[in-house]
Structure 1
Amino acid sequence: MTFESWQWALMVMGALLAGFSKTGIPGMGILFVAIFVNVLPVRQATGVVLPMLILGDLFAVALYLRHAQWSHLWRLLPATVAGVVLGWFVLRSLNDGQTVRLVGGIMLIMLAVHLWRKARAGAEAEAVGHAPRWFSALTGLLAGFATQVANAAGPVMSLYLLSLRLPKLEFLGTGAVFFMLINWFKVPFMVQLGMMNRDTLRLNLWLAPAVIAGALLGRAVLPRINQKAFETAALLLTALAVLKLLFS
């Protein structure tokens, strides 16, 4: 694959954001996905993005593993695996535009449910770490589906973890382990669909230093962000991601 200088500049910026979103502010991952979709064909972009996410996952897990809340992970993972398999089947029948808009529409419903639950219960009335089982199952299914078809599970998980009102380190630790497990699970499906190959992996090698730099930058910035600003940024970026998916 050959690229012009402006395309390289955008991809390096996207790789920086990939690393930063894993260790700094979650939700920024959707921005780097959007960058790659505008430089590469959608299916090829999805294959290029996945190894960068996995590299960022390694840094996030190394930094935040001790903060992971395993009880939430066990509630999510079975439905998430089902969502990945469902997404694999859908990718074989729907075109890119239909799939992305479907994910955006479901995420819009989830955003509305999150805001409704927050308004009804109130921040002081709802226990930290509590979510109904149906909400966990729905989140897992949608996260698996969204990550398989568009690498777009980040905003889905942000909504779920925000609804649990987890402290930012537990938020990042739980998300880091979740995505590390699911992203590795996706690899055989991506290879089978032809979305990951030698050319995409060669491009990943060139962009790996930028991913690492972004991950280190995110770790340096996180202690300077207070909890309320962290939650607000994650929610706003999720809303922007929904709009991007619906109107792209």
Structure 2
Amino acid sequence: MDMSLVFISLACLVTGFSKFSIGGMGLIILPLTMLAFPGPEALGVIIPLYLLTDFIAVLTYRKNVNWRVLAKLLPFGALGVIGGTYVLGNIDPHTFMTILGILIFTLLGMSIWLDYHPLPVFTNRYAASVAGALCGFVGVLANAAGPLMGLFLLEQKMDKSAYVATRVWAFLTLNIMKLVGLISLGLINTETLQASASGLPALFIGMFIGYKVFARISAEQLKLIVRGAISLSAAHMLFFKSSN
């Protein structure tokens, strides 16, 4: 069996599951893809698949979207995508991911602390703009916007359905922007699209599993699982960085 197909299929399985359930698993997906497709072209394999799942997810979770939060996030998200596209390939990814991993662990600790010591940190007028810009920027460079988006949205005190609906709409918009940037850099081409297509069966299986799992978890379980995925992502940044 072609091991490249196995790794791409595993990445697609996790992608489908993540998009239809908990999110925040981008740095689990990227290393799997890079085992089959080393280098930044791995992003060119992932983003078209993200867009496909985003389109299906927004049709599935089209109700209870928090448009007010999106309106604050997305303009700054666009600026972050532009900045991330500009620096892609011109920065040491190991240093960047180390700094980002520390930042995510810090934000995660702050989020847990705020459960017991409420402060208007994630709800002040600047929080959405900072979160949007960071999500756009790190989403392009490291496929790591999920943990940051999860932290921000968890603190907006939305119910479970509003959390997922708002998240999928945010990522649909950001991933369309990322697609344009990756095409301009030549990271999406015939070869990467063929690799994306090879993982479609696993992608749909993951979407189905994620949808069924999501229907059975509570809001508190959702928060616990999202934070677990965030911790895994940050740990990967710090301790399991790719050699690319």
Letter in 2 for 1:142: L
1:40-81 residue CA offsets vs partner (Å, 9 max, x unmatched): 223011111111111111121011011211000011111111
Contact 2:21 2:211 (C-alpha < 8 Å) held by counterparts: yes
| In 2: Cα distance, 1:109 partner to 1:78 partner | 25
**Counterparts of 2:197 and 2:227 in 1: how far apart (Å)?**
32
Which runs of structure 2 are paired with 1:100-139 in the superposition (5 Å)?
100-121=97-118, 131-139=123-131
1:37 to 34, 37, 43: 34
How far apart in 2 are the matches of 1:245 and 1:133? 29
* 1:101 CA drift (Å): 2.7
Residue of 71, 75, 99 corresponding to 2:72 = 75
**3-state DSSP class of the match of 1:26?**
coil
Q: Please identify runs of 4+ aligned residues in structure 1 that moved more than 3 A.
A: none
Counterpart pick for 1:230 among 222, 230, 236: 222
| Shift, 1:229, TM fit | 1.1
**Which residue identity does 2:83 align to in structure 1?**
L
CA distance in 2, matches of 1:109, 1:193: 32
Q: 2:93 is matched with which residue: 96, 103, 107? A: 96
Kept in 2, the 8 Å contact 1:30–1:155? The answer is no
TM-score if structure 2 supplies the norm length? 0.91
1:98-156 deviation line (CA, Å, top 9, x unaligned)? 3333432332333233234333218xxx8xxx711222111111100111112211111
Letter in 1 for 2:60: L
Task: After superposing the two structures, state which structure 1 stretch, 23-32 or 224-233, moved more.
Answer: 23-32
Alignment length, in residue pairs? 239
Q: Percent identity among equivalent residues?
A: 28
d(CA) in 1 for partners of 2:213, 2:110:
31
What stretches of structure 1 of length at least 5 have no aligned partner?
Answer: none
CA distance in 2, matches of 1:102, 1:81: 22
Equivalent residues in 2 for 1:1-248, closer than 5 Å: 5-121=2-118, 131-247=123-239, 248=241
* Residue identity in the other structure for 2:200: A
For the residue of structure 1 that corresponds to 2:199, the secondary structure is helix
In structure 1, C-alpha distance between the alignment counterparts of 2:205 and 2:128, rounded to whole Å: 33
